[in-house]
Each structure stands twice: as structure tokens, then as C-alpha cells.
Structure 1
């Protein structure tokens, strides 16, 4: 059995793409959704409200509503502090959907917007592996030139999840303060063998309302400022490939090609509102820009 497991927030279009891309490859989708944002604010169950949209996938979906968070003081403070509890707890609730797993069942742990490549899933053999995914931000085709790859998604056997036999780096411990060895959040920070062409990370995709809502809801509230909640400014930055989170990232708009999921290409009209048509380049050109960026970064340090 293959279980594709992830927490869900409100990424309805991205979820639709993921379910279509992986439906014929996996046996079950384990989806956890919380009644709180990562900052502790009340949240509706968005998936439950839109269940009809995903009717054809329900036979494979194990849906878990998370509403039993431990009490947490100072959940609305400006620092990250113990807000990681909400993020960790929701992800670790994935275990509730894996009660019938056998030791050699295959488990994928990622975020909803980190869509695994079905071919990479088929290539997986054993151990803990990192699915190397292309990183896109704010538009489906706007790739990060600064850091174009993401390695957080993991694929392993169930026996590896509950007993990874590896420690995580000291610098990563702050991100899983409320998880522990043998749980999904811990696994995300375990170093794994790389599987290339591992999928697609579509981050901050959606209309401005959804983007703003995510900014208000994530743990890292340092990215949530007054300027970033200005609709006109946000839209202008997205169109001009500027990093709306002001982290110094650079983007390039890719031409549509077979590096994207087949389902996405076949249904591109449906998602065209979130495709940036300005100054599109080939994937190879974007990778050339990435190499130039790295060289400049090294030269700056000399």
C-alpha cells in the first residue's frame, strides 16, 4: 500500500491538482485539517465544506479533523515561540490515518502544496528518501532562481517512519519542538537519499485573499506586515516577479513544458489565472540564471 499524507489548510486548487496527479499511483490520501491556524486563530474546515468538489477521490481519502490541540498559552504573541505546536500537532495527526499500516507500506510525508511526481514514487525502493522538488512561488510557473529545489518531502516505509534510526540536525530542532522521534514532523527533518525529479512545490498560489489569509495564519509572522496586505502592491509584486515576502528571492517565469505535471498541462485553462505570462523562459535558461546567481553570491563573499 502507498499512503500520500499531508496537512491541508485552504489550497483547494493545489489539492485538486495533487489528487488528480497521484490518484492512480497511491492507495490512500491521508489529509489532516485543523480548526485552528498555526497562529491559534479559529478556522473553518475548508475541505469538508468543499467535499463535493472532490467526490471522485473520496474512495481513497482518509480525512482527519484535528480539534483536540493541547492548551497553549500566548498563542497570539508576535514571536514564533510555541506556535509550532499547532503546525507540528496537525502534521503528526497523520498517524491517526495510518493505524492499519504494515511495516513495508510506503508513506509519503509532505505539505499539501508539495506534490510528489508519480514517477518518483514508482522509483522508490527502500529507506528514507527526500523527493527533490522544483520550487514555485506566487504563480504556478514562477520558479525560484535563488533556491530552485526543495528537499523537505519524504518517502519511506512505515517501519522507517516509526523508527527512522537517524537524528536530526541541531539547527532544525526548533521547527519540531512539539513533535518527537517516530512522528511525521520529525521525519521531515531527517536526512534522506535524494530522488531527482521528485515533484513540484507550488507555494502561495491563489487569489490575493488566500495569500493574505496564509500570511495571517502561518507560524512565521515576521513575513506578515502592513505592506504585504496591500492588494495593489501585492499584485504588482507578483506580476513583476518580486518576492512579496521580502526575503530577497529571485524568480523566473517558465514556459509550459513537460517539466510540469501532465494533468496540469492538460487542464491549463482551468488554472491560467495563476500563471505568469510575463517574460517566460525555458527551464534550462532558468537553471542558467540560478548558476549565475550562485557565482555572484560566492564572489560577494570574497
Structure 2
């Protein structure tokens, strides 16, 4: 049964039949905010002889161009933006809105991360992506990028991620301890980790045509993004992901400047890199939560361990009282000016990050477990030492 106020019933039946012929199993979906094609429609689907209801209310799409050029902003210029249209009315429609076609079956998805100590964000990431990911490939080392010995945090806490155990492929990279007075470039050590990840992915069983997510642990693609790209054909072989950037928690949204995360259609030439690889970027594709830690000791660890540790110019920078004060103000831990590409943006971002009281459009697992992760939500800025 199809009812519409602008299209004929026969046209809608043809539209439905096309989807059924693809032998897709549909589930109950709320269409209250979905994009269709300038009409309101209620559909009653039958797939595999099982009735499934799709409820449609005000499903209207505003016409807009598929691509637009953004030549300014806080990220490298000249990216070509793909508007993110991954909220689903039913399978296949988002693909067509991007000019892509629907696959008969989804691609396998490999999520590859180099892990340091972000235990809470790792749980949120894997819970969000678990229904769509084939393998969680995780590499950790016994030293930091700056050559400081560290525990294998994931290995020691692996039981926390038992929900994903059958999908986890874990590797250990033997890091190098920096000698006293050594000035070895931490970015060189980081590059060695990324080279090692290429081999780990191959051992995990990745194949040509699979979908590969390349991002840091705190750069989390949304489930809609992953589902869109695994179900569509015609997707570019490499896409950067525009992630909404947050600092310290989801109480302090910075902007949409995060662009380094990428998704690849894996090929024999794919390399695990965290740099500019294409001119194409998928808009509003997830979240990047920087320095989003539960304990003050974790802030100190990252400040001294990651590739930009040279920003710690004074010992006082590592005092818990100072760090706590800056977190709750939304101010910069390193007392630095914002990294921007124009004086206009530099001036606009000087000073503390404005607070947000909103918990809308953040990871669903975080909201479902608000008490456990209250330090990541508005009003939860106070941290314990740990």
C-alpha cells in the first residue's frame, strides 16, 4: 500500500519493487527527518515475505548541488565537499543522492588505529562502529612517539572490549627508548608505527575492495558514514572525513577543522598515512574529541608522549591544578595561539572555547551511558587525578 500526494501510486510501486528486487532485508525505520524527493509518503514493505513498516512524515528534500567547493577555513584549502546525506529512509536512497549506486552486499570494513592510552574513547568508538566493522585492527607500542617507555594499555585492559573480541586483531610494535639527551624526531618514530600498520592490516586479512578507516583513536567516524560508504558503489577510492572537532569533552565544540581521517577502498597501493591524500572530503562525517580523558594523569601522559611534546615549554604546564583550571575554562593547555590559515580566523578563535549545553548529534553510545561518561558531557569538566 502506497499513499502519496504528488506521485502516482504506480510510480511509487515501481520505486518499491526496485528495492525489493535487490533482496535487501529492511527493518523498521523512522522517516520523520529523512530525505526523499519532494513528496510525503507512507510505505508498507514486504521483503522475504515478512511485513516491515516504514513510517513517513514530512519526508521532503530541498534541492541542492551534490558538490561544492570550499576554498577557505581552518583546514587546507581546495577540498571538494561531498554533503553528507547518510541518514537513511531505507537502503539505497543515500547512494542515489550522492550519484552512486547501491551494492548487492556491503563491503567488508577494517578499522585501523594506532593506540596510545585512550581507553574510554576506544570503547565509544568500537561500540559505535561494531555493527559495521569486520575487523578492528589495533597496533600499540611499548614506547611513546617521544621514546618514553609505556605500558601496553590495550593489552592490559583487553577484557573491557570483550563485546568485540571476535573482531579484534591486535599487534605490538617494539618501540625505541630514547637515550638521555636524544633529539630524535618524534614524527620519524610515528612514521615507523604507520609503516608497521600496513603489515598488520595485511595479516588481519584485508583484501582489495575492502573499506579501510585510517584515523586516530579520537577521530571517530559516525555509523551513518561507514554504512553509507560500505553499501555504495561509485565511491571515490579515497575520501577525507570532515569531523566536528571538540576539545576536552563534547562540552567544548571547536569547529569542523578536523580533516586528516580518511576512508579508502583498499588497493595494493594503499598506505596507512595521516596526511593530505586527496582533494575530496565527506562533510559532517563524525567526531574528533581531542584530549578527552577521564583522569588528569592521562592529560600529562599525552602532553609529554605525543609528537608535539615540544609544546610543553615549562614544567608548570604539567601541574594538575593548572590543567584542571584550563579544562573547565576551555582554554589551551599549551598557552599557544590557535593554528589557523587567516588572521580573521585567528582572531575569531583567540580565547577560551565557547561552552555548549547541547548533547545532540554526539555518539549514541555516549548518551546511552551518560553516567559512565559524564566527564565527556556538558557540566562534567572536573577530573580526578587518577
What stretches of structure 1 move > 6 A for 4+ residues in a row?
Answer: 71-75
- How big is each residue's C-alpha offset from its partner over 1:176-225, in whole Å with a ceiling of 9 and x where there is no partner? xxxxxx5212x632124111121111111111100001111112122223
- How big is each residue's C-alpha offset from its partner over 1:39-61, in whole Å with a ceiling of 9 and x where there is no partner? 11111100010011111111111
Report the number of matched residues.
252
Any gaps of 5 or more consecutive residues in structure 2? 1-107, 230-234, 339-351, 382-386
Counterparts of 1:27-42 in structure 2, within 5 Å, are 27-42=134-149
Q: Name the structure 1 match of 2:242.
A: 132
Secondary structure in structure 1 of the residue aligned to 2:250: coil
Counterparts of 1:201-212 in structure 2, within 5 Å, are 201-206=288-293, 207-212=295-300
1:217 aligns with 2:325: no
Distance 1:75 1:200, change over 3 A: farther
CA contact (8 A) 1:130 1:194 kept: yes
Secondary structure in structure 1 of the residue aligned to 2:336: coil
Distance 1:258 1:25, change over 3 A: farther
Counterparts of 1:290-301 in structure 2, within 5 Å, are none
**Structure 2 Cα separation of the partners of residues 76 and 193 of structure 1:** 42
Secondary structure in structure 2 of the residue aligned to 1:149: strand
Q: Name the structure 1 match of 2:197.
A: 94
Secondary structure in structure 2 of the residue aligned to 1:243: coil
CA contact (8 A) 1:32 1:63 kept: yes
1:251 CA drift (Å):
1.3
Q: Using the TM superposition, name which of 147-156 and 17-26 deviates more.
A: 147-156
**Structure 1 Cα separation of the partners of residues 256 and 337 of structure 2:** 14
Q: Using the TM superposition, name which of 100-109 and 220-229 deviates more.
A: 220-229
CA contact (8 A) 2:112 2:201 kept: no
Q: Using the TM superposition, name which of 95-104 and 45-54 deviates more.
A: 95-104
CA contact (8 A) 2:208 2:266 kept: yes
Q: Name the structure 2 match of 1:103.
A: 208
Q: Name the structure 1 match of 2:226.
A: 121
CA contact (8 A) 1:6 1:112 kept: yes
- How big is each residue's C-alpha offset from its partner over 1:235-265, in whole Å with a ceiling of 9 and x where there is no partner? 1111111111222344122233331011111
1:157 aligns with 2:274: no
- TM normalised by structure 2 equals 0.61
1:85 CA drift (Å):
2.2
Q: Name the structure 2 match of 1:11.
A: 118
**Structure 2 Cα separation of the partners of residues 247 and 76 of structure 1:** 25
Larger Cα Rg: Structure 1 or Structure 2?
2
- TM normalised by structure 1 equals 0.77
2:353 to 244, 247, 251: 251
2:164 to 57, 61, 65: 57
Q: CA RMSD in A?
A: 2.2
**Structure 1 Cα separation of the partners of residues 240 and 320 of structure 2:** 36
